Amino acid sequence: IIRSFAEIGYKVQFKLLNAANYGTPQRRERVIFIGVRENLNVHYPDPTHSKDGGNLLSQKKWKTVKESIDDLKDQEENIEWNHIFTKHNSAFIKKLKNTPVGQSVFGFSDAFYRNAPDVPSRTVKENHGGVFVHYEKNRVMTPRELARLQSFSDDFIFKGSKSQILVQIGNAVPPLLGKAIGTTIAEILDEK
């Protein structure tokens, strides 16, 4: 990629960014490529958050799962707002009850994984409905809870079936990470 863009007059750099470092309550690492004309300098957004907080570049601690979704745990289902519950049979509820924080119902690494409340979540994936288990409730997280873990604002409404909504959420770039990258690209372009 870098060589191909260099041949047409662009310099391209890449860096591994963690969405948790930009205020997303999720440890989601992605390689981000930024390419510019040769007369511009590439740089990446400075982190606004860190695991421990308070270092020179970032003053805030990573946002946790509980900070992000705890107010939703006892709310009633609201389909229009994407707070849609999954219907579990009694056998599955029993499995959920026996799944401690930090483990998966079926032993998979991410599907049906019960996230710890006091850290950012693992990477939110669409997982064909095998989404995260709530840290306290014996149910999987709702699309609205997962959207919050992706840093979508509450006024963003997803359209489609529940399955389609889960795919949209899981495949999205976290908005706070996207905003940090977009702001940095705008700054780069203003430097010309």
pLDDT digits (tens, 9 = 90+) for 169-183: 999 999 999 999 999
Cα 171 to Cα 75, 92, 128, 130, 174: the distances in Å are 26, 26, 12, 14, 9
CA distance 175 to 94: 35
**Is 109's pLDDT higher than 90?**
no
pLDDT digits (tens, 9 = 90+) for 29-83: 999 999 999 889 999 999 999 998 876 665 799 999 999 999 999 999 999 999 9
**Is 164's pLDDT higher than 60?**
yes
Q: Please state whether the predicted TM-score (pTM) of the whole model is above 0.75.
A: yes
* Average pLDDT, integer, range 15-40: 95
CA distance 176 to 82: 20
**Is 129's pLDDT higher than 80?**
no
